[in-house]
Amino acid sequence: MAKLAINGGNPVRTKLFPAYNTIGEEEKKAVMKVLDSGNLSQFLGAWTHDFLGGPTVRKFEDDWSKMIGVNHSISVNSNTSGLFTAIGAIGIQPGDEVIVSPYTMSASAIAPLVYGGIPVFADIDPKTFCMDPISIASKITERTKAILVVHIFGHPADMDAIMAIAQKHNLYVIEDCAQAPLGKYKGKSVGSIGDLGVFSLNYHKHIHTGEGGVITTNNSILADRCQMIRNHAENVTAPRQIEDLTNLIGYNYRMTEIECAIGIEQIKKLPSLINQRLDNVAFLDEKLSVFPAFDILPPMQDNSVNTYYVYPIKFNKEIAGISRNKFVEALKAELPCAVLRETAPLIGAGYVKPIYLQPIYQKQAAWAFNPALYSGSVSYEKGICPVTENMHFEVLFTHEYMRPGMQPDDMMDVVNAVEKVFENINELVDDSKS
Ligand SMILES: *Cc1c(COP(=O)(O)O)cnc(C)c1O
């Protein structure tokens, strides 16, 4: 008789895992205060005092700057719009190339296309899943203007090597920090190392305001350009007598007073949320590292901090005797989803499909690819980033069983489910039909 849930046996657990909910009384009170004031957004798209928003927006940005250790924070309505703003601010033009990661949320690669720039994919390092500096260096051409780095899964990218490449070739560096708020690279906060950092305050991230984002920089010229692109730049270039109008077409990417009021409270909670995550990671590291088919991340060195947006595991199918996909499907069947996330399992095979395999790249279906604008040649063929493809299609799986709110009992159910699948692996090996 089958023991594994995927074959009809009883699952290890059916009771939903605890919710991950960072919103509480503090946020409620802060929102009510804004509502009582009647001022839900003080922004004006004209060169006045209110061009930079109201008191709550400004306080939120100050608090964010202090947390990250930068001179300027510019709030925006998403990380996606923040990346668009950052690409605009550094002056990306049609025909320029920007080196991006293929293994990230789609927004980190699409941003150059909005300004007519061409995303060029560099492969990832199988140890960190972040872009590999050697691959980055091999993708540089005379058209390259910037590197868009992603601290994927919360793991800081190899910033010393990447900054050295950027310096040598005179390139801008933008850090996508959506998955790594308060992550550190050799003691420095991510988002304070490159020219610009971009964070997300979307519902699915460590902390959130529903939707939202923040750009960070120490460069006052770039900060100013971001502030203009966020808020109707074209209205202020004449009164400010700005001569270089490159990309100073403005959008409305503003956050509201309500969102920033929530954000101020969320900032206060972030250090403790990260510590809970790291405590849970330490618990699971100890329990999961004993399985010979699992290869988990080693502890961080040099004062660097991984903030574990997800927990990646490399699966060795030779040792296990079954494929990663079969293993993940079997484990998924043993474990429930979570409260507030009843339909999306906390585990998945791979992450997102290598981005260049999306139709927009396969068909080069964007105006930026028009040969009148772009004289280079870029390839999006399957095979251009073999490490990424191997990780995604064969080796890597990610889970979120270390989310704050998970107690040792909950995590032990996960460990027991893993143990159960390995103990009954014969049920999976023999099934040639699946
Ligand atoms: C979530 C995410 C984004 C997009 O953030 P939004 O705030 O939802 O626009 C971009 N990059 C990465 C790496 C992300 O995880």
Q: Which residues contact 271 (CB under 8 A, 6 or more apart)?
A: 182
DSSP 214-246: EEEES-HHHHHHHHHHHBTGGGTTTTTT----T
What residues are in contact with ligand 1 under a 6 Å CB criterion? Answer: 78-80, 104-105, 107-108, 150, 176, 178-179, 200, 202, 213
For residue 177, the CA-to-ligand 1 centroid distance in Å is 8
- The secondary element (H helix, E strand) that includes residue 73 is strand 72-76
Query: Which one-letter amino acid corresponds to residue 22?
Result: T
Q: What are the residues facing 294 on neighbouring strands?
A: 315
For residue 3, the CA-to-ligand 1 centroid distance in Å is 39
pLDDT of residue 65: 98
Q: Which residue, chain included where needed, has tokens 């014969």? A: 426
User: CB-based burial of residue 386 (10 Å sphere; 0-12 exposed, 13-18 middle, 19+ buried)?
Assistant: exposed
For residue 200, the CA-to-ligand 1 centroid distance in Å is 6
Structure pTM? 0.97
pLDDT in tens for each of the 434 residues of the chain? 789 999 999 999 999 999 999 999 999 999 999 999 999 999 999 999 999 999 999 999 999 999 999 999 999 999 999 999 999 999 999 999 999 999 999 999 999 999 999 999 999 999 999 999 999 999 999 999 999 999 999 999 999 999 999 999 999 999 999 999 999 999 999 999 999 999 999 999 999 999 999 999 999 999 999 999 999 999 999 999 999 999 999 999 999 999 999 999 999 999 999 999 999 999 999 999 999 999 999 999 999 999 999 999 999 999 999 999 999 999 999 999 999 999 999 999 999 999 999 999 999 999 999 999 999 999 999 999 999 999 999 999 999 999 999 999 999 999 999 999 999 999 998 655 44
- Ligand 1 atom 8 nearest Cα: 202
Q: How many residues does the chain have?
A: 434
- Ligand 1 atom 1 nearest Cα: 178
- Ligand 1 atom 5 nearest Cα: 79
Q: What are the residues facing 176 on neighbouring strands?
A: 150, 198
Max intra-chain CA distance, the chain: 79
pLDDT of residue 431: 52
Ligand 1, atom nearest to 82 Cα: 9
For residue 278, the CA-to-ligand 1 centroid distance in Å is 21
Assigned token pair, 419? 């143990």
pLDDT of residue 2: 85
> Which bin fits 95, alpha (ψ -120 to 50), beta or left (φ > 0)?
left
- The secondary element (H helix, E strand) that includes residue 313 is strand 311-315
Domains of the chain: 25-266 (3.40.640.10)
Burial code (b: 16+ CB inside 10 Å, e: under 16) for 339-364 equals eebeeebbbbbbbeebbbbbebbeee
pLDDT of residue 434: 46
